Amino acid sequence: MKAEFVIVGAGSAGCAMAYRLAMAGRKVIVIEHGGTDAGPFIQMPAALSYPMNMKRYDWGYRSEPEPHLNNRELACPRGKVIGGSSSINGMVYVRGHAMDYDHWEESGAQGWAYADVLPYFKRMESWHDGGHGGDAGWRGTDGPLHVSRGPRKNPLFEAFVKAGAQAGYEATDDYNGEKQEGFGPMEQTVWNGRRWSAANAYLRPAQRTGNVELIRALAQRVVIEDGRAIGVEVLRGGKTEVIGAEREVVLAASSINSPKLLMLSGIGPAAHLAEHGIEVVADRAGVGQNLQDHLELYIQMAASQPITLYKHWNVLSKAVIGAQWLFTKTGMGASNQFESAAFVRSKAGVPYPDIQYHFLPIAVRYDGQAAAEGHGFQAHTGPMRSKSRGAVSLRSGNPADDPVIRFNYMSHPEDWEDFRTCIRLTREVFAQEAFKPFVKHEIQPGTDMQSDAELDSFIAEHAESAYHPCGTCKMGAVDDPMAVVDPQARVIGVEGLRVADSSIFPRITNGNLNAPSIMVGEKVSDLLLGLDPLARANDVPWVHPEWETSQR
């Protein structure tokens, strides 16, 4: 079994690379441990809370007890299925802010500034504004990845955007265009009523070329001879075999599994590898370090009118919605229900947004538990650039064992200040005139929670991961001791091996990570093919003219 390129992981970046390599006539083998993504749980956008809570589709990882969050073990879902996490995520599409990528370049990821990555975002998109306006010139029109907007029929979606304006914030009709900052419509990877995962967008067309073979197996380690990666050892049907790579091996197995595979292959912090009896091939201190994520809170309000999605929160209504979706791919089932959003700055002196809002017209948790009060709505909110850092390490030298995941959430004092700001700013938005007809009372935190200490206790008990882990194989300059890959995504110290997924992010980007992860696959595919990068863009993004002196 061999091919020119062997990609580990049929997720967001892996599918994009398989597609570009296949279109260029290259032979590719993609190794994926998970099974099929067929069936309504994955393909129906509104069913998103199901697959991420199903063992069948999820690796089922949990963090170690988090010392600053009352020792809670937080869920860390990663897709174990064709399409990877793009098959179990919330389908929210956010490119990230221009300054995120400029920061990448400043920190040593040469060639990854916003001007460099914007052309790849355009290349990957087929953007549909649905008649809601937007920045057409900043968007792509004929890429494999369809990006659309929900119908925004529920009056609460408009109330949220209006309330933002009443509170003095900017409006934006395209946070993925020139201006991220402000309140406006949210975008989703949904097309013709179906989840438009990386598998639907990239992998299926790639397979149709005949150049891509998908193999279901558990990757155990990269096989390295004389300092060069020559293949991947896998467990398939109870047997160990090696899948050979004539040109390169690419790990696109997630920010949890890519560093784990590197360490099992002898690439990582030498002392840690020695602890587990693994022979050191390349001593790279940064493997598994620099773990980042977004934490968020659900600020929930009880509704005074029965207009929320709660009216559909029963078996009969779910069956009707499911049937309509199955036969027509329309109706409530055809949206993830995240249809309004906002990006704002927490205080004066912050140059670009550091708080994100997802607005949802029901008070519910990701695990599908609805609020006891019945009709309600909520904003998911949290800081975008926490200074806390965690790590992924090996539990043992056995590839079957889950890695040790320590996020170290809220370990930086500024995180607490930022989160309290999030809660107070959200309450202010919900107190605006636009929400007067709809608000009954605050469900959580609850109006009795006001002081710093009270809010801190709420945060410690209720903060949840937004499921955006990244950064564990940081991209940087070759002489950066904590960098794992160079700006060509090549693992430093080993030939013929690259990493291309969210683990190479030097720092977490604003918003949800699916779009930047796919972009990484797009950009690295050009590097694998030895092509010149796409021409840099000259577009200048909007920055608040008074950011130094004003919060809004």
Active-site residue list: 468
Beta partners for 76?
A: 61
Nearest-5° Cα angle at 146, 144 to 149: 170
Q: Which of 260, 253, 252 is nearest to 287 (CA)?
A: 260
Is 89 among the annotated ligand-binding positions?
Answer: yes
Q: For residue 543, how many other CB atoms are within 10 A of its CB?
A: 14
The two counts, helices (H) then strands (E), for the chain are 13, 25
Yes or no: say if 170 and 544 are a contact pair by the CB < 8 Å rule: yes
Yes or no: say if 491 and 483 are a contact pair by the CB < 8 Å rule: no
Is 446 among the annotated ligand-binding positions?
Answer: no
DSSP-derived pairing of the beta strands 145-149 and 125-127: parallel
Single-letter amino acid, residue 502: S
Yes or no: say if 88 and 336 are a contact pair by the CB < 8 Å rule: no
d(CA 393, CA 404): 5
Q: Collapsing DSSP states into helix, strand and coil, what is residue 230?
A: strand
Rounding to the nearest 10 degrees, give the CA dihedral for residues 438, 440, 441, 442.
-30
Q: Which of 468, 455, 545, 458 is nearest to 505 (CA)?
A: 468
For 390-477, strand residue ranges (E) read 391-393, 404-406, 439-444, 464-465
d(CA 8, CA 224): 15
The phi, psi pair for 104, rounded to 5°, reads: -55, -50
Render 10-37 in DSSP notation, one character per residue.
Answer: -SHHHHHHHHHHHHTT--EEEEESSB--
d(CA 331, CA 322): 9
Is 81 among the annotated ligand-binding positions?
Answer: yes
What are the residues whose beta carbons fall under 8 Å from the beta carbon of 41, sequence distance 6 or more? 47, 50, 51, 54, 57
Single-letter amino acid, residue 75: A
Counted residue by residue, the chain has a size of: 552
Single-letter amino acid, residue 90: G
Q: Collapsing DSSP states into helix, strand and coil, what is residue 509?
A: coil
Single-letter amino acid, residue 309: L
* Residue that has been written with the tokens 């296949």 in this structure: 22
Task: Provide the annotated binding site for FAD.
Answer: 81, 89-92
Task: Provide the annotated binding site.
Answer: 81, 89-92
